[in-house]
Structure 1
Amino acid sequence: MKTYFVSGIDTDTGKTYATGLMAKYLYINGKSVITQKFAQTGCKGISEDILIHRNIMGVELFDVDRKGITCPFVFDYPASPHLAAQMQNEKIDIHKISTSTKILNDSFEYVLFEGVGGLNVPITLDYSLLDFLQEKKYPLILVTSSKLGSINHTLLSLEILKTRQIPLHGLIYNHYPAKSNFILNDSIQVFQHYLKKFGFDCPIVEIPIFENLENSEVDFSQFFF
């Protein structure tokens, strides 16, 4: 059993789609795989990101989805988890999240654990997602994109991962919005250079733009096999 944590350099980098595509890759290659979501905001009932994962995988909801194990904290208000929880007079219980991960690990070969927003999102005022990752030491898959500002956000993320000694398993470069081939090509070179500079020996996998994600496939063999 193996848990990989999937984080973005920021919100809206495509980490939900990346998580779904990785799960699909493992699933169609005969692996027992489940996705988990740290917390979901701006949603009611089953996590909308979990629903996207299952749609991309081409499978129905699992019992663990319906029971809330794959995402035990879902909040109505679309905000940072600490604020969304506060607005419902709740608090995110890290122990409950860890218990959910253990349950999933006991039943599946792979758990792809999607975070919320970027790396340093506050869970409470005194505890961030970065603190959680430093404690758990899950191999991290970091999702970046071609949008302007992504180089800055990616290099800052790499530097803090090195400082906090959080293991980086791989970098995903999401081509969306792909407004310039010059930016695409240059960004890959920059990221390859800085991965080496910060001492990370891990691959970069690119996700092209798909018209239909349900019929899309990406080769993630560099990450998993």
Structure 2
Amino acid sequence: MNKTYFISGIDTDCGKTMVTSLLARELHQQGIKVITQKMVQTGSSEIADDLREHRRITGIDLQEVDLDHTTCPYIFQFPASPHLAARMEQTSIDPEVISRSTTKLEENYELVLLEGAGGLMVPIQDELLTIDYLQKEGHPLILVSSSKLGSINHTLLSLEACLNRKIPVAALVYNHLPNENQFIAEESMQVLKRYLHNNSPETHWMECPEVNGADFPALGCSWMTASAPNTEQRR
């Protein structure tokens, strides 16, 4: 049955594109018909840069759904929040266009990995945040955290926001980059694991090690094909 996971991060540059790519690669190697989607791409043109990275790491060429912009219906050249990047080009983002693109992909793929832009509170429109869109669509969330200073605060705030809105958090991925202090990273992981144990025990814990060259690690995502909600029930 067709399913979609939404991948977001605790802020920009936390590693969600890498995590999305690694998940797609692993699922592809398991024989799952998987495709990635980019909600909105800013600071790019023609084909979304993040989609190119997804395909490179997955080990496949650009797909027809990339070339016809099904996988990324909104691409803006100005590198800013989606609502501002759209405004700079004298247009706006229609969330229904994104939703219809996801539905089209769900009809042809077993799993869709939908990567957001920035964090959960990033505006898509002046009056619409990414988390609003996620709540309405009902996609389970894969949240990417990181080892940089401040990540505990950003991660817990993101988790609290999702729990308060009853958004299912399927997994929390701890990205070991930038790996500046292993002692701090270990403590951060313990804090986040305790929080999940006490507040969201159904959330899977995952770790993304440092990626070196073409040595792409497996994140351990076999649970995704068994526990994802049925989109026919969700919509």
Verify same fold: TM over 0.5: yes
Tell me the amino acid that sits aligned with residue 71 of structure 1. Answer: C
Poorly superposed stretches of 4+, deviation over 3 Å: 222-225
Q: CA deviation at 1:185?
A: 1.3
The corresponding residue for 1:215 is 215
Between 132-141 and 188-197, the greater mean CA deviation after superposition = 188-197
Aligned to 2:178: 177
Give the letter aligned to residue 68 of structure 2.
Answer: K
Q: How far apart in 2 are the matches of 1:152 and 1:223?
A: 27
Residue ranges of structure 1 left out of the alignment (5+ in a row)? none
> Could you say what secondary structure the match of 1:169 adopts?
strand
Secondary structure of 1:10's counterpart equals coil
Supply the AA of the counterpart residue of 1:217.
P
Letter of the 2:216 counterpart: S
Conserved? CA contact 1:47–1:74, under 8 Å: yes
What TM-score does the superposition give when structure 2 sets the normalisation length? 0.93
CA drift at 1:99: 0.8
Measure, in 1, the Cα distance between the counterparts of 2:223 and 2:191. 20
The question of whether the paired residues in 1 share the 8 Å contact of 2:211 and 2:217 is answered with no
Separation in 2, partners of 1:47, 1:199: 34
Correspondences of 1:53-72 after superposition (within 5 Å): 53-72=54-73
SS in 2 for 1:111: strand
For normalisation by structure 1, the TM-score amounts to 0.97
- Deviation, structure 1 residue 199: 3.0
In the other structure, the counterpart of 1:84 is 85
| Correspondence 1:1-225 to 2 at 5 A | 1-212=2-213, 214-218=214-218, 219-225=220-226
1:198 Cα offset (Å) = 2.3
User: Could you say what the CA RMSD is over the residues aligned between the two structures, in angstroms?
Assistant: 1.0
Residue 170 of structure 1: how far off its partner (Å): 0.4
Of 4-13 and 195-204, more deviation after overlay is shown by 195-204
SS in 1 for 2:36: strand
Deviations, residues 75-123 of structure 1 (Å, cap 9, x unaligned) = 0100000000000011101111111001100000000000010001111
Does structure 2 conserve the Cα–Cα contact (< 8 Å) formed by 1:159 and 1:198? no
How many aligned residue pairs are there?
A: 224
Alpha-carbon distance in 1 for matches of 2:201, 2:73: 32
8 Å contact kept, 1:140–1:168: yes
> Secondary structure at the residue paired with 1:217?
coil
Q: Deviations over 1:155-176 (max 9, x none)?
A: 0011101111100000000000
Secondary structure at the residue paired with 1:3?
A: strand
How much has 1:224 moved relative to structure 2? 3.8
Question: What displacement does 1:200 show?
Answer: 4.1
- Distance in 2, matches of 1:63 and 1:113, equals 17
> 2:223 and 2:149 mapped to 1: Cα distance?
27
Distance in 1, Cα, partners of 2:42 & 2:31:
32
What fraction of aligned residue pairs are identical, expressed as a percent?
48
- Which residue type is aligned with residue 216 of structure 1? F
Verify the 8 A CA contact 1:170 1:223 in the aligned structure 2: no
